[in-house]
Structure 1
């Protein structure tokens, strides 16, 4: 007999939009919630989810998605993060240095620096493994290069 599907809390449109906004926030702001990225205050503790909440609300405004005032609550975001962990979108670990999805731990600018370093290794050290990784990564990043109008690969084009 097939297993009965458990009811999930994203049947409502607003809850689904909230989850999609959370995923988009984590994608667009890798490392969000990190104490390094927060305002430089002398607080010993920081509230990573308050930063996620504020950024999610800003993204909703940019996308012209109307959310109720103060929505979503930090406790709701905590539950949403558990849902993302359940579906292995987030790993089952502590995110003390900010939230990011999968291997998307770098911003576009940071990725460009890391990519340029990899390109330099591939070109000047002749390491076959590094060259293969560079070729694979450059294929995967072609879309980003097109989005940046050819600026991403500018320094390393042959």
Structure 2
């Protein structure tokens, strides 16, 4: 469950905006992290890509700042608790999304995210008089973070997947 945003503006206007849940390791869901993770850090230590770090309770969160997930399952193999789902399940409950700060949306020709995507889930729609615009095919996106790690504008974020294919 996401923590509510209790900023002064939201408090005074009566709005309660909730922050998105943290990104968790592959083959986990927030419910299993909450119910079964002890915060031992075994999965964090086992990750060869070093994309996992502990949250305030010692539970793993993922950051795609420099690298992507390679789906090696080292985190799942190291975990002594029943936190990780079977490998036949969808690895992540999120997919990539392109933000407005994308260079292509501001007129600069950039296709870094599409070049980095191992699933070819990012296509570029040509437009007259401007750079081609990236579009993500959510059904093909694995949520690995390769596009987020490479984006020079930090314009790739992750959002909840609409459905788990």
TM-score, structure 2 as length reference: 0.29
Q: Report the structure number with the largest CA radius of gyration.
A: 1
TM-score, structure 1 as length reference: 0.30
Q: Which has the higher helix share?
A: 1
